[in-house]
Amino acid sequence: MKLEQNEKSLLFSETMIPDIFFSEYLSELPGDYLKIYMYVIFLSKYNKDIKLTDLSKKLNIPLKSINDGLKFLEDHNLIMKKTTGYVMVDIQEATLHNLYTPNLTMSKEKVEQTAKNKSRANAIEHINNMYFQGIMGPSWYNDIDIWFNKYCFDEQVMIALFDYCYKRSALHRNYVQAVAEAWSSNKVKSYNDLDNYYQQQENLNKIKKSIAKKLGKYNGLTQYEEAYIENWVSNFGYDMSIIEIALKRTTFKQNPTFEYINNLITDWHDRNLKNPSEINAFIEQRKKQEQNTKELKSKVNKANYEQRNYANLDFLYANNLDKKEA
């Protein structure tokens, strides 16, 4: 591939990348996609055509990954597809456009919320300094403001959100959004709500580990098995003392499944059984009913058997009378 230069030779030329890329986009790009983006920026300076197969060979990246990477860059507004190929998006201009919102209304609400805005501004500044080394990208400010309004988090919860993602090396917009959605769905708004949520999650994780150990699942539970447990604990309000009763019932089964355990626990919940005493009483009642049913069946079978015997004797007696009369 031939590259033409106008003023500088290739040795002295430069490919400029704006700082907004490093603060807004870099953390979102997988390694191969970053290589693709950097190289197409380089090529775009010279308005060069390149086949995807040649790009694959040049970067030593499979052709499928090239196609996936270009789609990823397009979805993240780093490149734009045209009929003849792709054009690089001016990310500085795009960021400015996203941030610019004309203020056409009276600022009465803003005046009323001055104190809240100051508190939020302090929280955002703390997030910027603590988790972005003071160079947080402009769009993060907009996102944080949206999340404040959407989820009604207080300032401590918003800081805790970024702390949670930062400690997991996942300070990516999509991940932060997913965690915020999870907290909001569990009715977290204040830091006290978050503390209660953490305690519930810790208790849930202990129950999961205990169940996995008791069932001999040393490789861990599947996603679907964990979903069953979360339903028992979060929606049914059952703790390990109740769940263990169901686990013990598996000893009566040759090949017990998680679905069997779930059916037991769901049946107890549907019957409004709330504690181990009520459940054990219900199990004993069922045992007694089953025993009574067995005894009743046994009596019926015995009566039927005796009746058949009497019928057979009468038949023989009738035959003997017939012979004598003959």
CA distances to 164, 291, 292 from 298, in Å: 64, 10, 10
Amino acid making up residue 49: D
- Of 68-82, 86-100, 162-176, the least confident: 86-100
**Ramachandran bin of 84, using left for φ above 0, alpha for ψ from -120 to 50, beta for the remaining angles:** alpha
Per-residue pLDDT at 27:
78
Number of domains in the chain: 4
Specify the DSSP element, H or E, that contains 137: none
Per-residue pLDDT at 32:
86
184 lies in the same domain as 227: no
Segment 212-233 shows an average pLDDT of: 90
Amino acid making up residue 280: N
- Of 179-193, 206-220, 248-262, the least confident: 248-262
Q: Confirm if 164 and 153 have CB atoms less than 8 A apart.
A: no
Residue 269 domain-assigned (yes or no):
yes
185 lies in the same domain as 199: no
Residue that finishes a domain, picked among 150, 172, 189: 189
118 lies in the same domain as 183: yes
204 lies in the same domain as 255: yes
CA distances to 12, 65, 67, 68, 169 from 71, in Å: 32, 10, 6, 5, 25
Q: Find, among 147, 158, 241, the residue nearest to 194 by Cα.
A: 158
234 lies in the same domain as 166: no
82 lies in the same domain as 66: yes
Per-residue pLDDT at 312:
55
Per-residue pLDDT at 50:
79
Per-residue pLDDT at 309:
57
Res. 162 pLDDT band, cuts 50 70 90: very high
HSE-up of residue 182 (Cα within 13 Å, Cβ side)? 13
Percent above pLDDT 90 for the chain: 34
Residue that finishes a domain, picked among 138, 162, 189: 189
Specify the DSSP element, H or E, that contains 81: strand 79-82
317 has a pLDDT exceeding 60: no
Mean pLDDT of the chain: 81
Sign of the alpha-carbon torsion through 116, 120, 123, 129: negative
Residue 102 domain-assigned (yes or no):
no
Q: What distance in Å separates the CA atoms of residue 23 and residue 139, rounded to the nearest whole number?
A: 9
Segment 295-323 shows an average pLDDT of: 60
Residue that finishes a domain, picked among 31, 62, 96: 96
Q: Which residue has the higher pLDDT, 211 or 250?
A: 211
204 has a pLDDT exceeding 80: yes
Residue 67 domain-assigned (yes or no):
yes
166 lies in the same domain as 204: no
pLDDT one-digit tens code per residue, 259-292: 999 999 999 999 999 999 999 999 999 888 888 8
In whole angstroms, what separates CA 56 from the centre of its chain? 34
Amino acid making up residue 168: R
303 lies in the same domain as 256: no
49 lies in the same domain as 81: yes
170 lies in the same domain as 136: yes
Q: Which domain holds residue 298?
A: 283-326
124 lies in the same domain as 180: yes
Q: What distance in Å separates the CA atoms of residue 264 and residue 280, rounded to the nearest whole number?
A: 13
CATH of residue 23 = 1.10.10.10
Per-residue pLDDT at 94:
72
CATH of residue 229 = 1.10.10
Q: What distance in Å separates the CA atoms of residue 264 and residue 44, rounded to the nearest whole number?
A: 64
Residue 105 domain-assigned (yes or no):
no
Specify the DSSP element, H or E, that contains 21: helix 19-24
125 lies in the same domain as 183: yes
